[in-house]
């Protein structure tokens, strides 16, 4: 069904709700006009994609109404709601119900709807707050005068964050539904599913949530349940909402835009987090549900496993291959040489072993730790991997926790493990319900089953009427993995005496406090490679930053190229593991031969060198609750006011004999570059990703923290990677002009040579108005945009002293109406006449400096002859929100040198990524700690430290380092760690100790320091402390200088100044020498 609002079909439905606003009155399959109208609803077809044909009318007989006035309480408000009419959708409606509002913190609001007369199941996760007054809160709650709406607004902007019509509210024993509008379609979250994109499709898409043993497929409910979403508002503020409910449920995302929540049990218990940035939303969310655990340092190393090694000999062969190629790894059996051992445990316990031979079952039987049948006495019996029948531990039972801890301690004496991987804990069962099947009742077969796979609550698991310590499996099913994770975490720490490693397949709200997760039994397909980024971004939203996907895929046989690209991407998963299934071909990095192993080793060595930075991010996540891996949209930086020249109109040709820089200082506000009006305007620039709506849907690149970007290749047979660059910095007024003119033509007559001519560039798809109206090649701007190469304030990780970067010569610049000065670029392959141009395009012969050409073809490659400086191509000045790429510097060259300003918007970049490279970028203004890599994390921790200093426009940078022994328990809580912040400014690198604590940083001296800078001028040193003897020869957009303590004079280019020498000689990682 495709179409738009106001279609003829909808016009034939008198009084029908427009398609985008419809709420489904028959959410289960089998809707018909007869069944619809029997419910008092409207039946009407629609051309709106996926819109329901059976929907609630505007005068719906359902819902609730407020009874009396809102009552003020110590925590907020309390409102009684009564059912409006007797008509029932699924029976057993409850009335009255209570809406209770709690002002928990200034940024967190709780509102819940419950039955005041009967206790219903609630998730045993206590979220409390100190409480604030309505005046202190950053939100406000409103009840409409006609008692039909409940709204929550952001105080600072008035944006409505939550708006629920009470007429759309349902609260029966086994069907609860509430609908809210959201301020935009930029909605993220809800899990666990394999979402094709990070930003959700809002075309009436429904996602079910109910933990299930299910390989990742589109729209299927998978292993965990996370009813949390984040919404970015039109003004770039963000908020998040949690529905704390563990029953089977679904949510429909509608184009209104709105969200409709449905669940079949418990209460409607919502928490709203006001942000206002995406990162602060996650911080507030994890403050409520529990901060992510601090992983052991060794768990950040590369991991290798598979189901089905078959024999110890096969495992040894794999290990030998890895050693031969010096690929970082740790084994799963032998614990020596700094390697670690993780065991996989499934929850089901076989009951058919010979008496006296299986302690786990006999002790559990004695202690009564099993999930029981509906009688509450007889253990529920199903079938799984063990031969025969199995029983299932009930981890909500304190006796089970005691049983499990004791077994984990005993297992440690048999197998010297370092961590436990808990699998199949949805819980999985290889049959529908237990033996002999599920009874025919409303618990097992409710009147409404959410949009989950098979529309069955018992498929691949136990019957819903099974009994657990906390209640019916109907209520607690999706809590099984969550309830197992904490006792496993505590048992591992007790058994090892070290920081616990727990990896759980099934997760719920708050699971990140005690464990990590992987994305399950994925497939060796390119789509799974791409979608793994979405899953990793989502689980960082959910407060589980220790997350990864099976590198190269779990199911099916991988291919050389797919596995290699996946090794490159997976090297930057927080949890980095190559894992595959029984019966599939081997896929460890060493099995593909020398070239594959060399490329994998190179990428993994980058990971290992940056582990101090990654470990610091985990520290920050543990303490402050933010993400470790985040989308580009999360970066949100407000810059100070800048002065921007606003021009309008045109007075014709203008003589410019001075350079742009000197000319700027002689400007008057009446005539500027041919502007009828020219004036300065104070402008508040939101130089950020969050405010750029184009970044809201980007999930092909991601960030480690704020400073490190990964932009992998995600398509087969591709050597290009596309990403978007951030507008982090703004150029000074002398470098930034905004051109607003709609009457420019392709031909400009400009006098006085190269410095006088101005060339307008445009792509009409993006410019306001119709600049360059005569242009006939302005179609397909989307395709042309992808050919524009840019770096903005991000520096390539693989940086050489002189950086060349490819630009598409046939499409040099293609965005927004603007001009450039003093250099040349080709304009969309069109012809252009330039009087006095000193550059030209082949096949026209090149010009010598000082000569002129009346006409210049632009169909071929740009080339120049003569010295670059004399041809003025070494200069680059910009105007407007467009940049100029300097022409190629040789007649046979297809490369150009240039700089892209941070003033750009929608900065798409297509970069070269041959099979041996993954594009990686370091952000200007940040310092990243690093260490020399080694084969294991144990060895790499012994290597000297280094700092990567990427300077911003002001020549400044800052960063931090967290360090402890890597695996002791509660080092942060016990204040046994090292933490320092580093700043680079005014020729000096300084370290400031945040906390002087017990842990000594034994490796204090810097082994190396890499400094990266974006050149601001060719007339002065482009980086602090470096002298350039010949700016015309050495003019790259970015400069890498490596200085080491031992070899300061051996620089890649130039030499360190005395000031830089002094700074380097005194630099230590430890701010205090006595550390």
Give catalytic residues, as residue numbers: 423, 426, 521
Let me know: does 107 contact 275? Beta carbons within 8 Å.
yes
Let me know: does 404 contact 327? Beta carbons within 8 Å.
no
Distance CA 366, CA 311 (A): 35
Among the listed residues 934, 938, 935, 911, the one whose alpha carbon sits nearest the alpha carbon of residue 797: 911
Let me know: does 643 contact 736? Beta carbons within 8 Å.
no
> Would you list the DSSP string of 605-658?
HHHHHTHHHHHHHHHHHHHH---SEE-GGG---PPPPEEEEEEE---S-----S
| 3-state SS, residue 306 | strand
Among the listed residues 564, 590, 920, the one whose alpha carbon sits nearest the alpha carbon of residue 717: 564
CA dihedral sign, ordered 173, 175, 180, 184: positive
Contacts of 622-626 with C-beta under 8 Å, sequence gap 24+, read: 622/291, 622/292, 622/293, 622/294, 622/972, 623/291, 623/972, 624/283, 625/282, 625/283, 625/284, 625/285, 625/286, 625/287, 625/291, 625/292, 625/543, 626/279, 626/282, 626/283, 626/286
Distance CA 1075, CA 999 (A): 8
> Would you list the DSSP string of 108-173?
EEEEEEE-TTS-----S---------TTTSSEEEEE-TTS-EEEEEETTT--EEEEEEGGG-EEBS
Let me know: does 518 contact 547? Beta carbons within 8 Å.
yes
Q: What is the DSSP letter of 305?
A: E
> Would you list the DSSP string of 487-534?
HHHHHHHHHHSS---EEESS--TTGGGT-BEE--S-BSSHHHHHHHHH
> Would you list the DSSP string of 1053-1072?
SS-B-HHHHHHHHH-BSSSS
Strand locations in 174-328 (E): 176-181, 187-191, 205-209, 226-232, 238-243, 249-254, 258-263, 268-273, 303-306
* Residue 74 burial (CB count, 10 A): 6
Distance CA 454, CA 471 (A): 24
Q: Which residues contact 140 (CB under 8 A, 6 or more apart)?
A: 134, 152, 153, 155
| 3-state SS, residue 792 | coil
* Residue 555 burial (CB count, 10 A): 18
> Rounded to a whole number, what is the distance in angstroms from the first to the last CA of the chain?
69
Let me know: does 903 contact 926? Beta carbons within 8 Å.
no
Q: What is the DSSP letter of 219?
A: T
Q: Which residues pair with 422 in a beta bridge?
A: 345, 504
Let me know: does 322 contact 304? Beta carbons within 8 Å.
yes
Let me know: does 863 contact 799? Beta carbons within 8 Å.
no
| 3-state SS, residue 358 | coil
> Maximum CA pair distance of the chain?
101
Edge to edge, what strands does the sheet with 758-761 contain?
A: 758-761, 818-821, 877-879
Element (H, E) at 1041: strand 1038-1044
Distance CA 709, CA 574 (A): 14
């Amino acid at each position: 069904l495709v179409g738009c609002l106001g279609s003829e079909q909808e016009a034939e439905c008198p009084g029908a709700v427009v398609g985008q606003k419809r709420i489904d009155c028959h959410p289960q399959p089998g809707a018909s006009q007869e069944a619809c109208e029997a419910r008092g609803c409207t039946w009407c077809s629609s051309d709106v994609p996926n819109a329901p044909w059976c929907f609630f009318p505007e005068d719906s007989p359902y819902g609730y109404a407020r009874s009396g006035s809102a009552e003020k309480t110590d925590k907020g408000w309390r409102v009684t709601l009564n059912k409006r009419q007797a008509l029932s959708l699924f029976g057993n409606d409850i009335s009255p119900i209570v809406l209770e509002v709690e002002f928990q913190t200034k940024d967190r609001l709780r509102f819940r709807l419950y039955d005041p007369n009967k206790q219903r199941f609630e998730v045993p996760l206590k979220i409390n707050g100190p409480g604030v007054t309505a005046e202190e809160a950053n939100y406000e709650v409103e009840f409409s005068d006609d008692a039909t709406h409940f709204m929550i607004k952001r105080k600072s902007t008035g944006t409505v964050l939550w708006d629920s019509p009470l007429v759309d509210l349902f609260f029966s024993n086994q069907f609860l539904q509430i609908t809210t509008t959201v301020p935009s379609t930029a909605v993220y979250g809800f899990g666990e599913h394999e979402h094709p994109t990070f930003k959700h499709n809002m075309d009436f898409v429904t996602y079910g949530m109910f933990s299930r043993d299910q390989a990742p497929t589109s729209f299927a409910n998978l292993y965990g349940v996370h009813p949390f979403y984040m919404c970015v508002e039109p003004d770039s503020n963000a908020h998040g909402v949690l529905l704390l409910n563990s029953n089977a449920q679904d949510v429909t995302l509608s184009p209104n835009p709105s969200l409709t929540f449905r669940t079949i049990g418990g209460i409607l218990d919502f928490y709203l987090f006001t942000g206002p940035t995406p990162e602060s939303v996650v911080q507030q969310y994890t403050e409520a549900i529990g901060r992510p655990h601090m992983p052991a340092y060794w768990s950040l190393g590369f991991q290798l496993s598979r189901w089905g090694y078959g024999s110890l000999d096969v495992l040894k062969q794999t290990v030998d291959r890895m050693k031969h190629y010096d690929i970082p790894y740790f084994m799963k059996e032998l614990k020596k040489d700094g390697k670690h051992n993780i065991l996989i445990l499934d929850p089901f316990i076989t009951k058919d072993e010979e008496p006296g031979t299986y302690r786990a079952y006999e002790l559990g039987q004695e202690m009564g730790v099993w999930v029981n049948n509906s009688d509450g006495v007889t253990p529920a019996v199903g079938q799984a991997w063990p031969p025969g029948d199995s029983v299932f531990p009930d981890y909500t039972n304190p006796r089970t926790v005691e049983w499990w801890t004791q077994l984990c301690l005993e297992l440690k004496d048999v197998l010297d493990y370092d961590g436990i991987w808990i699998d199949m804990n949805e819980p999985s069962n290889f049959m529908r319900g237990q033996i002999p099947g599920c009874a025919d009742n409303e618990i097992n077969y409710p009147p409404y089953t959410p949009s989950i796979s098979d529309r069955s609550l018992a498929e691949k698991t136990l019957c819903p009427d099974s009994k657990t310590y906390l209640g019916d499996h109907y209520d607690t099913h999706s809590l099984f993995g969550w309830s197992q994770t904490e006792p496993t975490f505590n048992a591992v720490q007790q058994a090892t005496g070290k920081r616990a490693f727990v990896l759980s397949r099934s997760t719920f709200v708050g699971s990140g406090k005690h464990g990590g997760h992987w994305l399950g039994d994925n497939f060796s397909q390119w789509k799974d490679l791409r979608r793994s980024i979405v899953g990793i971004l989502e689980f960082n939203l959910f407060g589980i930053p220790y997350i990864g996907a099976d590198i190269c895929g779990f199911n099916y046989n991988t291919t050389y190229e797919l596995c290699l690209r996946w090794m490159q991407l997976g090297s930057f998963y927080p949890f980095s593991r190559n894992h595959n299934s029984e019966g599939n071909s081997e896929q460890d990095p060493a099995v593909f031969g020398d070239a594959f192993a060399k490329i994998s080793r190179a990428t993994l060595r980058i990971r290992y060198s940056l582990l101090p930075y990654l470990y610091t991010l985990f520290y920050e996540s543990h303490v402050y609750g933010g993400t470790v891996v985040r989308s580009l949209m999360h970066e949100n930086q407000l810059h100070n006011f800048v002065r921007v020249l606003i021009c309008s109109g045109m007075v014709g040709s203008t003589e410019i004999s001075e350079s742009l820089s000197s000319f700027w200082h002689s400007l008057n506000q009446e005539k500027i570059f041919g502007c009828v009006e020219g004036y300065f305007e104070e402008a508040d620039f939101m130089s950020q990703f969050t405010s750029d709506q184009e970044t809201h849907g980007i999930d092909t690149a991601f960030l480690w923290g704020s400073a490190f970007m990964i932009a992998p290749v995600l398509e087969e047979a591709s050597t290009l990677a596309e990403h978007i660059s951030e507008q982090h910095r703004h150029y000074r007024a002398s470098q930034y002009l905004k051109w607003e003119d709609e009457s420019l033509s392709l031909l400009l007559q400009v006098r006085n040579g190269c410095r006088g001519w101005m060339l307008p560039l445009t792509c009409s798809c993006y410019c306001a108005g119709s600049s360059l109206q005569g242009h006939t090649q302005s179609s397909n701007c989307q395709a042309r945009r992808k050919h524009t190469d840019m770096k903005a304030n991000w520096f390539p990780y693989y940086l050489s002293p002189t950086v060349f970067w490819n630009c598409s010569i046939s499409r040099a610049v293609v965005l927004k109406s603007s001009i450039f000065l003093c250099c040349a670029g080709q304009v969309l392959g069109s012809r252009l006449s330039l009087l006095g141009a000193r550059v030209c395009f082949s096949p026209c012969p090149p010009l010598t400096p000082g000569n002129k050409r009346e006409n210049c073809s632009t169909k071929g490659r740009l080339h120049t002859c003569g010295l670059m400086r004399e041809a003025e191509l070494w200069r680059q000045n910009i105007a407007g929100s467009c940049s100029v790429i300097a022409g190629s510097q040789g007649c046979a060259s297809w490369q150009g040198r240039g700089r892209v300003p941070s003033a750009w918007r929608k900065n798409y970049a297509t970069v070269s990524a041959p099979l041996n490279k993954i594009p990686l970028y370091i952000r200007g203004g940040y310092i990243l700690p690093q260490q020399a890599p080694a084969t294991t994390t144990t060895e790499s921790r012994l290597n000297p430290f280094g700092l990567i200093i990427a300077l911003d426009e002001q020549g400044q940078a800052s960063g931090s380092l967290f360090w402890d022994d890597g695996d002791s328990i509660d080092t942060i809580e016990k204040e046994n760690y090292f933490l320092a912040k580093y700043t680079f400014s005014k020729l000096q690198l300084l370290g400031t100790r945040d906390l002087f604590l017990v842990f000594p940083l034994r490796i204090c001296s810097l082994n190396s320091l890499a400094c990266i800078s974006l050149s601001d001028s060719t007339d002065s040193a482009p980086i602090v402390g470096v002298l350039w003897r010949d700016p015309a020869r050495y003019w790259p957009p970015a400069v890498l200088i490596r200085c080491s303590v031992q070899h300061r004079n051996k620089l890649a280019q130039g030499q360190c100044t005395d000031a830089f020498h002094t700074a380097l000689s005194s630099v230590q990682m430890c701010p205090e020498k006595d550390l």
